[in-house]
A and B are shown apart, each in its own frame.
Chain A
Amino acid sequence: MQIAQSWRLPVEGRPSRERRTMTGIGLLLTAAVLSSYTQLPAEASSWWSLALNPIQRPEMYIIGAQPLCSQLTGLSPGQRKLCQLYQDHMVYIGEGAKTGIKECQHQFKQRRWNCSTVDNTSVFGRVMQIGSRETAFTYAVSAAGVVNAISRACREGELSTCGCSRTPRPKDLPRDWLWGGCGDNVEYGYRFAKEFVDAREREKNYPRGSEEQARTLMNLQNNEAGRRAVYKLADVACKCHGVSGSCSLKTCWLQLADFRKVGEHLKEKYDSAAAMRLNRKNKLELVNSRFNTPTEEDLVYIDQSPDYCLRNETTGSLGTTGRLCNKTSEGMDGCELMCCGRGYDFKTVQVERCHCKFHWCCFVKCKKCTEIVDQYVCK
């Protein structure tokens, strides 16, 4: 007999087994789809591009109609199918990807690689083809963004397939609603994100022991770590409302953490990410076996990070030329490290708005004054 609290079940229960079987099914199912699928172009497009291209609200389309999904770039065949089934989810996947990218850029603001987006299809450019720590973080944070966005949309009744849907469902729903309310469906976000984000990895069928196989395993592990981060950091909020406001009657719900916290958590995981390689059993194993085996919440990488100092077309590195740096800092954002010893230029900027008066939202009353701020830019 297994007793478990249902809120934590999908994550702390037995997802590892579940994932393995799902991967198996995914591989079988997509083998047929892939037989006609040609080799990916050198700069693979990604679903991350949903973040950059605004998606029109699904109300614009009739359910089941094709246009939305065929217009979207960057979806793999499996993801396109999911898109057709769950059109209304796409807006939130885009939103989630956007949150993920924004958080990535915030966390890496002061690093040589600053998570900058390059174009509309591959989003981060060629750097993502290297299975580096940075790639690991990007996969994790964007997967986390999707869980976050889908969960939020789900609990606010924006999605047709979960909780309290916006669109009327079969006749039983109003009765369900009256009987037991909406039900908190945060785990739905986790499950859907797993289906959607992992679809791309699951439908590939690389030969055993190949580089690509290792990369697929790495991506799956990092996606899972990202999704779990959202769940792990969500905490339970409760409200007492019994007799005289006592706790004889108490209602609790799962509250998603501010995404900044998820970003920070994943950044810590980035710092402690484990270097892995493919072993003979076709599994990832530690390069240095002295370290602890990574859990499902940890990030892993298979390649060393490229040199982010100089612009390099092959690796996709943009270089740090033109980046702002901090003259006094000794950390990564300091001019010495940031500019990789190439030196820096001095720039003065005049700031005109100052002594602003703020209201809680928006109205800003500022005085006009000039102030000179020194800025240092890498050569």
Chain B
Amino acid sequence: MAGAIIENMSTMKLCIVGGILFVFQIVAFLVGGLIAPDPTSVLHSTATKCIDVQKNHHKTKWFMPWGPNQCEKISSFDEALKRQIEANDIVFAVHIPFISKEMSPWFQFMLSIMQLDIAFKSNNFIQDNATVTLDVTMAYRNDLNGKWIELAHSLEQRKLKCKLPTPKTQVTEGQYYECDLIPLMELGSVAHKYYLVNIRLPVNERKKINIGIGEIKDLKLTTIFQNGGFTKVWFAMKTFLTPSILIIMVWYWRRITMMTRSPILLEKIIFALGISMTFINIPVEWFSIGFNWTWMLLFGDIRQGIFYAMLLSFWIVFCGEHMMDQSERNHFSRYWKQVGPIAFGSCCLFIFDMCERGVQLKNPFYSIWATDVGTELAMAFIIVAGICACLYFGFLCFMVFQVFRNISGKRSKLPAMSKTRRLHYEGLIFRFKFFMLITLACAALSVIFFITSQVNEGPWTWDETTVQVNSAFFTGIYGMWNLYVFALMFLYAPSHKNYGDDQSNGDLRVNSAEELQLTTTITHADGPTEVFRLAGKEAQE
């Protein structure tokens, strides 16, 4: 990869390109911060307590909290006690969304979290390791007067992680427990207008089901979905970015094929990075508006995973190809030690994701965290992936260190070199430093924004203008990596200008072959350098 555009560009032109990219970066942030609303919205609902009065007559009866066919309700369980209603006859009903609202495919996904209000009673308290068993059904309809159609039905178990805010000795009757949020369901598409959730907590004393779970006062459902406005802005961004990256990819590949030599590894991997970026960019999500594609969420995860794996591999290869030692690389298999952890870690995360979101395609109420075995398995996958990530970053840091050491080694020898070799090394050093600079900048920006979004809890108000920080984070970071890939393909494409008078832009193999030759012939001339080189090699080994 000798003679990339970046080396032959004048500083002014480089600044102009940088400036344009910077402007696009700012635009990407502003689009998210000013145009788009917050990425997600929350709906809070307290479940209506319905009584299953005619349980035996209709088996599949839906309980509506309001409307013409609403169920028979009770306002509190004290009433149930008086009327001698049993726990098995109570159905919690939640309609999503509220009256006079409709859900829409623009919402993309929907997930619900359950919260139980449990009161402490000295003779009815939550036992250790209590699990709650939920008989939960979900139905949908697209017409307010239509019939409910079952979407999913499942018997789920969830652990109750509750604690009392005050020590048990001082606790008064009726004090509420502080319970962890319980994830209930996750839908990968919101294709219907109205959803209904019916939850029962069946009691079976013989099987010890739902015994010792305290006195439940209320069941609350918090539903999270993506905002339609954010989806629209996101789609628009993807639709705009896809052709931009595609065009630069075509241009880049044409440049490479125009050359006489076959493409080298670094060129191939930059192209692969472009492909994976385009894979993320292609706005297939548009179809989710018309079709009920529940696998969209999983597909999105996979696409992101592929891109990250590609990006990490690219960094390794880039460092390796700029090592400036004499070993012959230019083959992907030479990097198995570094790329191995990436592949293995990605596989772990993929399996984990398939276990969670993959199964959720069939049963939206499924959660791998609900059972002990599942939790251990999930943790195992995540820990293995974490170890892989640590290994990878260890390798990467070591490689970057090696490159910098070689650079400083080469620096001292530069004046003594022939023009061709000097230009070759200067080019390598410049390319590498420039690359390190923008990569570090992008990574730092990503990390900063990630941390901000974690700490941040709401939009920021800036003199009457509300800035949606979370949206800005998403569009900004997404735009940034697109620009990064764009810049890489543009700046690291082979240049048509020649090095010097005597050297045409041959490929690296020719170069290194020539270099080897050069080293053997020149060594006599510069002895100290030879010593230095040997020392360097030793240190490397």
Contacts and interface: CB of A to CB of B under 8 A. Distances in A.
A237 B124 CA distance: 27
A1 interface: yes
Contacts of A1: 462-463
Contacts of B393: none
A252 interface: yes
A2 B466 CA distance: 12
B98 A166 contact: yes
A253 interface: yes
Given A167-B100, A181-B37, A156 B227 contact: no
A174 interface: yes
A171 interface: no
Nearest to B213: A360
Residue of B43, B97, B224, B453 most packed against chain A (CB within 10 A): B43
A363 B97 contact: no
A180 B229 contact: yes
Contact of A362 (B81, B100, B229, B462): B81
A358 interface: yes
Interface stretch (B3-11, B83-91, B269-277, B282-290): B83-91
Contacts of B492: none
B99 interface: yes
A7 B457 CA distance: 8
B222 A253 contact: yes
Interface stretch (A60-68, A219-227, A243-251): A243-251
Contact of A248 (B37, B45, B225, B450): B450
A111 B527 CA distance: 97
Nearest to B303: A243
A1 B123 CA distance: 56
Interface string A66-94: 00000000000000000000000000000
Given A5-B460, A245-B356, A360 B41 contact: no
A152 B45 CA distance: 9
Contacts of A280: none
B463 A181 contact: no
Residue of B80, B224, B356 most packed against chain A (CB within 10 A): B224
Contacts of A5: 456-461
Contacts of A184: 42
B227 A260 contact: no
Interface in A266-284: none
**Interface bracket on A:** 35 or more
Interface stretch (B18-26, B101-109, B135-143, B496-504): B101-109
Nearest to A3: B460
A182 B213 contact: no
Given A3-B460, A155-B44, A360 B214 contact: yes
A177 interface: yes
A166 B181 contact: no
A6 interface: yes
A6 B458 CA distance: 7
Interface string A332-361: 000000000000000000000000101111
Contact of B101 (A152, A177, A247, A361): A177
Nearest to B349: A244
Given A251-B224, A260-B176, A156 B201 contact: no
Residue of A184, A247, A358 most packed against chain B (CB within 10 A): A358
B165 A261 contact: yes
Contact of B87 (A181, A241, A360): A360
B165 A241 contact: no
B457 A359 contact: no
B353 A3 contact: no
Contact of A6 (B77, B106, B459): B459
Contact of B80 (A179, A247, A361): A361
5 contacts: A5-B456, A6-B466, A258-B178, A260-B174, A358-B215
Interface of B: 37-46, 77, 80-81, 84-87, 90, 97-102, 104, 106, 111, 113, 121, 123-124, 165, 172, 174-176, 178, 181, 183, 186, 201, 203, 210-211, 213-216, 222, 224-225, 227-229, 232, 300-301, 304-305, 349, 352-353, 356-357, 450, 453-454, 456-463, 466, 470
Given A181-B43, A182-B41, A258-B175, 14 more contacts: A5-B459, A6-B458, A178-B229, A184-B42, A237-B222, A244-B301, A249-B40, A251-B224, A252-B458, A258-B165, A361-B90, A361-B215, A362-B85, A363-B85
